Amino acid sequence: MSTVFKALADPTRRHILQMLKTRPMGAGEIADHFPISKSTLSAHFAMLREAGLVGSEKSGKNVTYWLNATVLEEALLAFASALDLNLTPGRAGGTPAPKPAERRS
Amino acid sequence: MSTVFKALADPTRRHILQMLKTRPMGAGEIADHFPISKSTLSAHFAMLREAGLVGSEKSGKNVTYWLNATVLEEALLAFASALDLNLTPGRAGGTPAPKPAERRS
């Protein structure tokens, strides 16, 4: 739970998650949106992966990332439930992005 | 948003919020549950207050804290909505603790 909230505590990491909500994206494509060094961005990706919030697939020199929306939803719901918060499962907005494997099938 | 998630990233702070979900508590009563120094605990309270997740009232030497459940719910819902997550408002569990002022009326 701590790793999830720690991952969410940074605006760049939340921005990355928001970019990935519509579709999987390559690391380079994501990097184009942020005026930060490659190593800093890699550290952000590492934290998001460690928290299980994104999945990744390497293909040659390229790494593709996608949002693990279910992991994020389940973490937030578990926390909300522990605190008796007013949150329940239910579709709030659009349709989550499919993973690359699902798109190919 | 960052201050909320930063506040939630620590297990002691999440534990404090969980203790406060049933009723407001004094700082001393909360401190009895944690084998940490008074200054460390004060820093935790300060972060929770800064994030708006707890309210506090000083009476003489005592400080009483309560959970601002609505602030927490609204922050999580705003984040969930930005990411099109599967979370909507809805009572997940029990009844939130009343604030001291509401209990006295």
Over the stretch B37-86, which tens digit does the pLDDT of each residue have? 999 999 999 999 999 999 999 999 899 999 999 999 999 999 999 999 98
Determine what percent of chain B is predicted with pLDDT higher than 90: 78
Residue B102 CA, distance from chain mean position: 17
Least confident of A1-15, A65-79, B65-79, B88-102: B88-102
pLDDT above 50 for A104: no
What integer pLDDT is reported at residue A18 of this predicted model?
A: 96
Q: Which two tokens stand for residue A9?
A: 């505590």
Cross-chain CB nearest to B88 (options A14, A69, A88)? A88
Task: Please state the rounded mean pLDDT for residues A84-98.
Answer: 68
Phi, psi of B61 (to 5 degrees): -90, -10
Query: How near does any CA of chain A get to the CA of B65, in Å?
Result: 15
Task: Please state the rounded mean pLDDT for residues A81-99.
Answer: 71
Contact residues on chain B for A77, CB-CB shorter than 8 A: 87, 92
Yes or no, beta carbons of B90 and A95 under 8 Å apart: no
User: By CA distance, what is A69's nearest residue in B?
Assistant: B85
Contact residues on chain A for B67, CB-CB shorter than 8 A: 83
Yes or no, beta carbons of B92 and A85 under 8 Å apart: yes
Give the pTM: 0.84
What integer pLDDT is reported at residue A66 of this predicted model?
A: 98
When the pLDDT of each residue in chain B is averaged and rounded to a whole number, the result is: 88
- Nearest CA among A52, A55, A40 for reference residue A10: A40
Distance separating alpha carbons of residues B14 and B72, to the nearest angstrom: 12
C-alpha atoms less than 13 angstroms from C-alpha of B8 in its C-beta half-sphere:
28
| pLDDT, tens digit, 9 for 90 and up, residues A5-58 | 999 999 999 999 999 999 999 999 999 999 999 999 999 999 999 999 999 999
Query: How near does any CA of chain A get to the CA of B94, in Å?
Result: 6
